[in-house]
Every structure is written in structure tokens, then in C-alpha cells.
Amino acid sequence: MVDAGISTKQILNRMKLRNLNPSKLKAIFISHEHSDHISGARVLEKRLNIPVFMTTRTWYGAYKNQRPNHPRFFTPGDKIMIGEFKIHTFLKNHDATEPCSFRIEYQKKSIGVFTDIGNPCKNVTYHLKKCHGLFLEANYDEKMLWEGRYPWYLKKRVASDVGHLSNKQAFDLLTTHGGKNLKCVFLSHISKENNSPEIAIQSMRELTSKFDIRITSRYEAGEVYQF
Ligand SMILES: [Zn+2]
Ligand SMILES: [Zn+2]
């Protein structure tokens, strides 16, 4: 599992709805210490008795009451084996202490989980090229952000090089670096305030002949997709 930013109850409910067995979950990887990525990890760690992987700085950066009790530390760049899955860890640009993303490789196929990226760095483009499936941030529509209700400092933070990827940035990234193997893209981390699923999908319309582009919801379990 990559990140656990909702309650354990919600996570287990949503897995059940998709007939996913929690006992098959072997590890959790935390990308960074913002609550929407870590708040459920501590309880889930205890409930399922599974390791939570994160960097030391991420652990220290987290609120004390959200820190897992028995963290397994990695250094960005490490490759970690969980059964037959190889987890590639790498640094990205985001305003957290040591923000990471992950590419999960299994039988020569890779799924990337790339969210919370201010500006795509070489690590992001390198790993994106190797992906067959991708969870890619499409956080905000530029017009909605700048004309929206967020206070000025927050608008600047979201749009900065250490904030989030806009629909346009996600589109450009896919256009330039989406490899020939890439089949399916799940648009992720869609802002409640500055975007909508319809607008995010619409912004990718020129790419729908090339990739199967889908949406993930913040409110409910996504579909189970098989490669
Ligand atoms: Zn974040
Ligand atoms: Zn986030």
C-alpha cells in the first residue's frame, strides 16, 4: 500500500467493497508526512501488524500522534523487496521534509504512484518512462485555483515548484515522457476546491487515444484494474 491518509476503518471498508483481503497487505510505504498521506498509518500498522516504510526525516517531520510505532527506515533511492515486488523509492519536489514517490515493479511491469509534485524532476521523468500503469497527480485547474477561494499564500504554495501538479502540467508530463509501455493512467489527488473529475478528464482529452485515462475518487474505493 502506498500512503494511508484516511482512517483504518475507511481503508478496511473500501478494501472489503472491492473484495480485497487485508491479510494480503504486506507493507505500507509513506511518501511524506502530510496528514493526507500518513494519518491512518499508525492504526493500520497496529491492526494488521505490518511494517511501515518511510524515511527518517519523514518520521520526524510527522505529527507525534501520527508516527508509526515501529517504522522501517529507507534512504531515497533504495530499492526494497516485499515478496516479489520491488519498490523503487526516489525523491521528488514537494514542501515536505524528504518527499518521495514510488514505482512498484513486479514481473517486469511497473506501477507508479506519483502525487504531490510541485515540478517534475529527473527522478519523476526517469521512473515515469518505465511505467505500465500510473497514478498521476492532476491536482488543480489553473483558472479555478487563481480565481478560487484559497487565500493568496495558499494559491502560491499550490502552484509553486514544491506544491502540486496542475492538470496542464500532468498533461505535458504525459505527452513528453509517457513511454510506449504506458497503458493506463489514473488521475489522482484531484483537489476538491480547485478542480473536478470532469475538468481533469477533459484536460486529457487529446491523450485518450494513446492512454486509458481514468479517475480516482477521494471519497470511495476505486476499481480493481488488472494488467
Ligand atoms: Zn503533500
Ligand atoms: Zn497530498
What tens digit of pLDDT does each residue of 165-214 get? 999 999 999 999 998 899 999 999 999 999 999 999 999 999 999 999 99
Cα distances (Å, whole numbers) of residue 5 to 34, 36, 37, 39, 60? 8, 4, 4, 5, 17
Residue 226 pLDDT class (50, 70, 90 cuts): confident
CB 211 within 8 A of CB 185: yes
CA of 107 to the centre of ligand 1 (A): 30
Q: Percent of the chain beyond pLDDT 70?
A: 100
CA of 116 to the centre of ligand 1 (A): 5
What average pLDDT does the segment 91-96 reach? 98
CA distance 51 to 29: 9
Which helix (H) or strand (E) segment holds residue 41: the answer is helix 41-48
Model confidence at 227: pLDDT above 90? no
Predicted TM-score of the model (pTM): 0.96
Closest CA to 67 of 88, 92, 89, 46: 46
What average pLDDT does the segment 58-79 reach? 98
What is the dihedral angle through the alpha carbons of 98, 113, 219, 153, rounded to the nearest 10 degrees? 40
CA of 115 to the centre of ligand 2 (A): 7
Model confidence at 5: pLDDT above 90? yes
Cα of first residue to Cα of last residue in the chain, in angstroms, is 17
CA of 209 to the centre of ligand 1 (A): 31
Closest CA to 195 of 137, 145, 120, 147: 145
CA of 165 to the centre of ligand 2 (A): 11
CA of 188 to the centre of ligand 2 (A): 10
Which pLDDT tens digit goes with each residue over 108-134?
A: 999 999 999 999 999 999 999 999 999
